[in-house]
Amino acid sequence: MTPAIEFRGVQKNFGPTEVIRGIDLVIQPGEIHAMIGPNGAGKSTLFNLVTGRYHVSAGHIALNGEDITNRAPHDISRKGLSRSFQVTNIFHRMSVYENVRCAMLWNLGYRYKFWQSVRNKRDLTERTDEVLAQTGLSSRSTVLAGLLSYSDQRALEIAITIAGGANVVLLDEPTSGMSSAETEQAVTLIRDISATRTMVIVEHDMGVVFDLADRISVLVYGKIIATGTPAQIRANTKVQEAYLGTDAEP
Amino acid sequence: MEVFVFSLFNGVLYGMLLFLLASGLTLIFSMMGVLNFAHASFFMLGAYFAYQISQPLGFWSALIAAPILVGLLGAAVERYMLRPVHRFGHVAELLFTFGLAFVIEELVQMVWGKVPVPYDVPESMNITAFAWQGLDYSAYRLFMLVISVGIFVALFFGLTRTRIGLIIRASLTHPHMAAALGHDVPKIFMWTFGVGCALAGIAGVIGGNVLGTEPGMAIQLGPIVFVVIVVGGLGSLSGALIASLFIGILNNMAISYDFSLYPIFKELGVERNVEGVLADLVNLTTGSIAPLLPYLLLVLMLIFRPRGLFGMRDV
Amino acid sequence: MPDPRKLGIGALIVALLIVLPMMISSSFALSVMNQIGIAIIFALAFNMLLGQGGMLSFGHAVYFGLAGFVTAHVINGMHVDAFPYIPVTLIPLVGGIAGLFFGIVVGFVSTRRAGTAFAMISLGFAELVTGLTLIIVFFFGGEEGVQTDRWVREEWFGITYGPDIQVYYLIAAWCVIAAILMYALTRTPFGRMSNAVRDNPERTQFIGYNTHRLRWLAFALSSFFAGLAGALHAINVEHVGFETVGLGQSAVILIMVYIGGTGHFAGPILGAILITLLNAYLSDVSPAWYLYLGLIFVLIVMFAPGGLAGLIMMHEPIRRTAPYLLWQMAPAYGAALGTSLVGLAGAIGLIEMIYFRSTTVSLDSALVLYGIELDTGDIWPWLICAALGAAGGYGCKMTYPRVAEAYSAAMHEARALVTT
Ligand SMILES: Nc1ncnc2c1ncn2[C@@H]1O[C@H](COP(=O)(O)OP(=O)(O)OP(=O)(O)O)[C@@H](O)[C@H]1O
Ligand SMILES: [Mg+2]
């Protein structure tokens, strides 16, 4: 089976600082892969490298077997990889409905068309309604995105990420800043959308991680110190020393 | 040879004048993210203030007082007009300074009329400083060069050797850090804007009597200064310096040598007696296209290096 | 299906456009209406960039003007059979294509950057083209510009475009067509993504769009409509001069659009009508007209960034839920208007007197203001105007907070009505 994402010797320096120091990792198709590690370990940077936001300093990244190293973000997105952002990154002056609809235009083949209206298009309307319902935003669809509450904005962040129907989805701390009730809803949502997709998720909430993930990778100072099933990670002494010992659930 | 030396001299002078404007503009832009469209208008005000002050009090008082007045005016504009616009974003700020430039030009016409005012080089310096191979170099030009280089040096030391310079340089590269370190950012903004305008004012005082003091002077020089900072890379002081000098020298060389462009066309197989668009082009000389050179440079820069010479942040 | 209310309004506008010239007889008024029609197209085109695409251009007149020159040459070419005949009715399309062509070429380079850099680049290109007008005399006609004669031959229904009224209908028809097309564009995938790249260019990349392509397309399409307006301008005044590509022309369109409001489709239309009217009727009366225009613009930027359309639309929720609340607000608004007028009268008096003294050669002639002859050498007019200005200013300071209060009270009540 070709891996969904494959990292081979990936490195990233910002000037003299080495932030990612050689990553080799395979994300299997269909799995939920959690990425954990202390603050500043390089998790978001890794996402930025896969999605083309930053260029790698060395190494290669492949998506579904195809090399995507240092390709432009829009190029990579069109190949079926989509991401959410740790810091909410939505279209503030457009309505929730518009946000979601825009996010699927490219993948549904509408591209740069300027001779065709977006209104009354069955595929767009149905898919937008579906994504809104799935993310619990149906009742807010006419609200300006900038005016949403924080947790609704986080939900919209996910809605934009999944709207295009990408088959590989990267979520960067989807539950950060949420209350426990909101987190629970988010977990249901994430499990729901992961049913048909490969998913990589960065998360600090260990409850969420061990609940959702098929496999977990532990990133410390730009290196992966362990990869395995939740049980293996829990049992791993290196991880316990480096990370879980202070931070995780008992 | 003497033509070369003299036009190099004049080019450096013009370049330094551009840099006086471009440096203030860059400082303001890097700190506040605002491109001050009215920057050349403060240059114009510098010239007009100097004219007005020098009438009763003489040039030397004007040299001191006019830039201070322009600086205070700039600080006041920042404090009472620009700051409220800040919350609407950078495009609104740019639009505000654009409107300000428009209004200042009209106000200048209202107060001083539409025709140039007789702001002249002071008598004492209207003499030949040195002559070489039959070409004179005026004392005033030498003085302009001394002033602008002096200010450049002062700016350089101010930025590299003083505490406030350190804070300013820190804000150039890390715009949000200064606030995090507990500096009174609004106040720093106000005085940066004021000092930037004062620099433009100085350029107006020493340049107004050579370039001509009239209501159109801002819109003539402004776009060239914007080209300078885009070519140098938005936010880069060294880029602004190099671009200023380059454009200054290029401009003066193009004018004093006044090469014909015909050989190039001939090389391309176009003869002097062609008709149509080319007829206008074959007889051109570098002198006649000198005013366009900065903009051609801009286009070339955009094609080959969209971020400019030293541009880092994409803005 | 377009909704019936909008169709009704559209039909009303078209009917009005048809009968309007029949009701007025002055040829000056007709020429002003022609200018308004052209300004509306140009303003809407400009707002495709500024309002919808988030690109601030200081040089969009380049595409307006270049298309005007091309149009003039094409018509002149038709007169001497150097160019195949195209009905003048369709010539605006030629201008549009010219605008599109220049927009595609220049836009490819200039839209590589957004934000402030884009604005500066647009300025640079404007200066470049302005400089070229004096060099490439063959195309631009140098200082004199290019003359043309729109009467080529008789077209459908005996139209010759000799009489101004026929040109009026030509402009009105193209104005309606262009406005409809530009409105339709806002609802296409391109139009929606144009908003997206304005709001958040970074995220736009991560949903599959090349931001440079989007901006480039917006720029090219906007240049098409600017070119259409430029062609109509060439037909209307039968002359295109170097100033049509210049910074002044670009500045005026920017000011027009921003005062009208960039956030609503109708904003630029409002701005185009208002500013063209004021320009037509004030620029001869007052030497300070451009100062007033600049001041209005600065005030709008500072206090009403949504423009006039934004101010009007602020009241839309109240009007929709409870129109009677608007009447309750009227006294506060009226008081503010009154004090503003007093203050304005004083300020305008002072400005006009200063202008008069600094620009009039012989001070013997008197300044006529508000129908009164003023002796600017006397102290009284100055004192009176200063007093009016001060009183108005003080009054505004008292009445403006009332307006804000009345507005928020009404909004509050309207909101309460909605929730119950
Ligand atoms: N653009 C950049 N320039 C310089 N340094 C950067 C840049 N982006 C990230 N870094 C540095 O790289 C390191 C890793 O950052 P990253 O955001 O990837 O961490 P993270 O694992 O996502 O942390 P967190 O859990 O806090 O989100 C940090 O030290 C950060 O300061
Ligand atoms: Mg992170």
- Dump pLDDT digits (tens) for A168-214: 999 999 988 888 888 998 899 999 989 999 999 999 888 889 989 99
Q: C190 vs A103: CB contact, 8 Å cut-off?
A: no
- The pair of structure tokens assigned to A166 is 């990408």
**What is the average pLDDT across C309-326?**
87
pLDDT in tens, C329-358: 888 999 999 999 999 889 988 888 888 877
Q: Which residues contact B287 (CB under 8 A, 6 or more apart)?
A: B254, B255, B256, B257, B258
* pLDDT at residue number B175: 61
CA A203–ligand 1 middle distance (angstroms): 15
Protein residue closest via CA to atom 6 of ligand 1: A14
User: Which amino acid makes up residue C360?
Assistant: T
pLDDT band at B138 (very low <50, low <70, confident <90, very high): confident
Ligand 2 centroid to Cα of residue A196, in Å, is 25
Domain residues of chain C, as ranges? Answer: 4-302, 316-419
Question: What percentage of chain A exceeds 90 in pLDDT?
Answer: 81
For residue A180, the tally of other CB atoms under 10 A from its CB is 9
In a domain, A157, yes or no: no
* Whether residue B241 has pLDDT greater than 60: yes
Nearest 5 degrees, angle CA C318-CA C324-CA C326?
A: 55
pLDDT score, position B114: 86
> Given pLDDT bands bounded at 50, 70 and 90, which one contains residue C53?
very high
CA proximity to C370, closest of C302, C301, C283, C286: C286
Closest CA to C272 of C171, C352, C200: C171
Q: Ligand 1, atom 18: nearest CA belongs to which residue?
A: A42
**Least CB-CB distance to C294: which of B85, B103, B303?**
B103
Q: Looking at the CA of A48, name the nearest ligand.
A: 1
Instruction: Tell me, yes or no, whether A25 lies in a domain.
Output: yes
Structure tokens that stand for A129 in this block: 């309604």
Question: Residue C207 in 3-state DSSP?
Answer: coil
Contacts of residue A102, defined as CB under 8 A and 6 or more positions apart, other chains included, come to: A91, A94, C192, C193, C195, C196, C207
Q: Which pLDDT score is estimated for B143?
A: 87
Is the Cβ atom of A42 under 6 angstroms away from ligand 1?
yes
High-pLDDT (> 70) share of chain B, %: 92
The CATH number of whichever domain residue A232 belongs to comes to 3.40.50.300
Query: How many inter-chain contacts (B to C, CB under 8 Å) are there?
Result: 133
Looking at every residue in chain A, the average pLDDT score rounds to 92
Q: Is A45 in the pocket of ligand 1 (CB under 6 A)?
A: yes
The whole-angstrom separation of Cα C295 and Cα C180 is 32
Which of C113, C136, C254 lies closest to B280 in CB terms? C136
B2-304 fold: ABC transporter involved in vitamin B12 uptake, BtuC (1.10.3470)
Contact C186, C265 (CB under 8 A): yes
Q: Measured between CA atoms, how close is A117 to chain C, in angstroms?
A: 4
From the list C133, C382, C168, C356, the residue with the least C-alpha distance to C241 is C133
| H helix runs in C112-210, sequence order | 115-135, 137-140, 164-185, 189-199, 201-206
Q: A240 or C198: which carries more pLDDT confidence?
A: C198
Beta bridge partners of A33: A200, A215
Nearest-CA residue for ligand 1 atom 26 is: A39
C-alpha span between C142 and C139 (Å, rounded): 8
In a domain, A102, yes or no: no
Is residue C45 within 8 A of residue C226, CB to CB? The reply is yes
Alpha helix ranges (H) inside B177-276: 177-180, 185-211, 217-232, 237-257, 262-267
Q: Taking residues A144-169, report their average pLDDT.
A: 93
Q: pLDDT-derived band of residue B315, with 50, 70 and 90 as boundaries?
A: very low
Type and span of the H or E element at A157: helix A150-163
C196 interaction partners in chain A (CB closer than 8 Å): 91, 94, 102
pLDDT of A250 over the 50 cut: no
Give the relative orientation of helices C247-260 and C27-47 as an angle to the nearest 10 degrees. Answer: 80
Range of A149-163, C10-24, C376-390 with top mean pLDDT: A149-163
Is any ligand 1 atom within 6 A of the Cβ of residue A40?
Answer: yes
Distance CA C345, CA B220 (A): 34
For residues C414 and C153, which has the higher predicted lDDT (pLDDT)? C414
- How distant is the Cα of A102 from the closest Cα of chain C, in angstroms? 7
Which of A150-154, B184-188, B305-309, C367-371: highest mean pLDDT?
Answer: A150-154
Give the closest residue (by CA) to ligand 1 atom 25. A39
pLDDT > 90 fraction of chain C, expressed in percent and rounded? 50
pLDDT at position B314 is: 46
Torsion sign across C-alpha atoms A141, A142, A145, A149: negative
* A14 in contact with ligand 1, CB cutoff 6 A: yes
β pairing state of A58-63 and A66-67: antiparallel
Nearest residue (by CA) to ligand 1, atom 9, is A45
The answer to whether the CB of B93 falls within 8 A of the CB of B68 is no
Domain that holds residue A43: 1-80+206-250
CA distance A161 to A194: 12
DSSP B248-293: HHHHHHHHHH--BSHHHHHHTT--TT--THHHHHHT-BHHHHGGGH
Q: In this complex, is the C-beta atom of A143 within 8 Å of any C-beta atom belonging to chain C?
A: no
Burial class (CB in 10 A: 0-12, 13-18, 19+), C372: exposed
The whole-angstrom separation of Cα C299 and Cα B35 is: 19
Give residue A88 CA to ligand 1 midpoint distance, Å: 16
For ligand 1, say whether the CB of A44 is within 6 Å of any of its atoms: yes
The pLDDT confidence band at residue A244, using thresholds 50, 70 and 90, is low
Per the listing, tokens 């027009």 go with C256
Ligand 1 lined by A48 (C-beta under 6 Å): no
* Count of domains for chain A: 1
Question: Is there a contact between C121 and B107 if contact means CB atoms under 8 Å apart?
Answer: no
What residue type is A182 in one-letter code?
E
pLDDT at C129: 92
Query: Has this prediction a pTM greater than 0.90?
Result: yes
Fold of C4-302: ABC transporter involved in vitamin B12 uptake, BtuC (1.10.3470)
* B78-120 pLDDT tens trace: 999 999 998 888 889 999 999 999 999 999 998 888 889 888 8
Q: Which of A17, A18, A19, A88 to mutate to test the pocket of ligand 1 (most atoms within 8 A of CB)?
A: A19
User: C291 phi and psi, to 5 degrees?
Assistant: -65, -45
What spatial distance separates the first Cα and last Cα of chain C, rounded to whole Å? 33
Mean pLDDT for C171-192 is 95
| pLDDT value for C417 | 82
Burial zone of C81 (CB within 10 Å; 0-12 exposed, 13-18 middle, 19+ buried): exposed
Chain C residues contacting A, CB < 8 Å? 184-185, 187-193, 195-196, 198-200, 202-203, 205-211, 213-214, 217, 221
Nearest to C96 by CA among C227, C222, C240: C227
Determine B/A contact with 3+ CB pairs under 8 A as the test. no
Using the mean position of ligand 2's atoms as its centre, give its distance from the Cα of residue A173 in Å.
7
Domain positions in chain B: 2-304
Residue B309 has pLDDT above 60, yes or no: yes
